[in-house]
Amino acid sequence: MTSTLDRRVATSIRSSQGSVHAQHLRRRAARVTAPYAEVASLQLSTKAAALVLRTARVSGPVFRDDTAAATGLSISTVNRQVSALLKAGLIRERADLTPPGAVGRPRVPFEINTGDFLTVGIHIGYRTTAITTHDLQHRVVGAVNIATPQAATPDEVVTAIGHSARRFADRWVGKRLLWGGVAIGGKVDEKGVVDHPRLGWSGVRVGELVAESLGLPVSVASHVAAMAAAELVVNPAETSQNFLYFYAREMAGIAFSVDGTVHTPAAGPPTIGHFPTGETRLLDPEKTGRLEDAVSDSGVLRAAAAAGLKIETLEQLRNAARTGDDVAHGILSERAEVLGRTVALMSDIFNPDHVILGGQAFTDYPEALPVVSKSLRATSVITNRDVRVARSAITVQQKAAGAASLDAIYADPIEALTRTA
């Protein structure tokens, strides 16, 4: 579930008097508008403007008649949407690519405008928060990781993150900031309020607080659902298929996409941290039998300490495994084995067309991926299941934040610009 909040506040924005951002925010602050919230599902929109914008993003430079053929829209509808998107500045024409002898603007191809706009993404993790800026192509323009702040209250944590994001975004002078997005674990309600048991948060106004700090409308999404949405953004051609997205790092979670829509139950995203692991050898030294206790980053480090390894970080553990430490390699291999077994069981329940594995538990130690595959095949009743590693790989958190920040733009681009104008 994604929710969108807009808060017209400019007093906390650190921007120079002469900057484009400051002028833009002063104009917005002058308008008296009540904050609003909306639920925006993570999906590939079927609105005409969204279809044309997506064609420009995926296939541009592209001609109008080719856009009509690709989207199923009439040429008159395409012409209207192209005109509106050109006026908004979200796309641009490429007169230099007009075929020789062509007459009329319909033979001028257009593409998405990646030069003038940015969105601001935030992924709030258990230990690390990623802050990113994205162009309209969903590409990461800039990124920084900060330690998730330790503060007296959750509100102070979120506000501090929002101010850090604003300072980072202000580096791009001359760019128009359109929207903010937050990807975070736990349950997100329709007003961007988050319950995050792992962080001990309940009823935290994440969307509103970040919107106040950024001075932008903000979309908040459950992070695994946003990761699945990022896969749709990268390859919208797969909308006819359904897939299961399985994420593992400090937290483990799943999301399910059907026909271009990431499904999130009204009660919140599925929780699998308590899923039984079965018997373990090195992992889960306290024998809780729960998935996150065994395979999370902190769980793996506990297993290393219990095995007598002088290890403080996952990077040290991986380095030890790569330089011949059998215990370190055994811990990481068992993590892969447990994950493969769990992925197989989840896949057999949902029976998706394919499975996507995301998160550093899979990507940071690729030497163990054959173990994941072997364990999955040994457990699943489907012998030829299509399983792949997420395209975003090590940038999965950044891509999730980007998907949240671009959600409203991609869903209804003209309407989104009226909210941030």
Q: What is the pLDDT of residues 369-390, one digit of tens each?
A: 999 999 999 999 998 889 999 8
Q: What is the pLDDT of residue 233?
A: 87
Side chain identity, residue 119: T
152 CB burial (10 A radius; 0-12, 13-18, 19+): exposed
Q: What is the pLDDT of residue 263?
A: 86
Query: Alpha helix locations (H) across 351-388?
Result: 360-363, 369-379
> Which residues does the chain have with pLDDT short of 70?
1-41, 101-106, 237-240, 393, 421
Which residues of 172-331 form beta strands (DSSP E)? Answer: 176-184, 187-188, 194-196, 201-204, 218-222, 243-248, 252-258, 261-263
Q: What is the pLDDT of residue 239?
A: 60
Residue 99 has what DSSP assignment?
A: P
Q: What is the pLDDT of residue 240?
A: 61
User: How many distinct helices (H) and strands (E) make up the chain?
Assistant: 15, 17
Spatial strand order of the sheet with 117-124 comes to 36-39, 2-6, 218-222, 176-184, 117-124, 128-134, 140-147
Q: What are phi and psi of 254, to 5 degrees?
A: -135, 155
Say if CB 272 and CB 339 are below 8 A apart. Answer: no
Q: What digits encode the pLDDT tens for the residues 185-228?
A: 988 887 889 999 888 899 999 999 999 999 899 999 999 999 99
State yes or no: cis peptide before 149, omega within 30 of 0: no
**CB neighbourhood size of 213 (10 A):** 25
Which superfamily, per CATH, for 238-390?
ATPase, nucleotide binding domain (3.30.420.40)
Distance separating alpha carbons of residues 289 and 302, to the nearest angstrom: 14
Q: What is the pLDDT of residue 199?
A: 87
Fold classification of 1-235+401-421 is Nucleotidyltransferase; domain 5 (3.30.420)
Q: What is the pLDDT of residue 80?
A: 96
Q: What is the pLDDT of residue 102?
A: 56
Domain boundaries of the chain, sorted by first residue: 1-235+401-421, 238-390
| Fold equal for 1-235+401-421 and 238-390 | yes
Distance separating alpha carbons of residues 68 and 141, to the nearest angstrom: 31
Q: What is the pLDDT of residue 101?
A: 62
Which residues of 366-406 form beta strands (DSSP E)? Answer: 386-389
Angle at 146 between CA 143 and CA 151, to 5 degrees: 145
Q: What is the pLDDT of residue 381?
A: 94
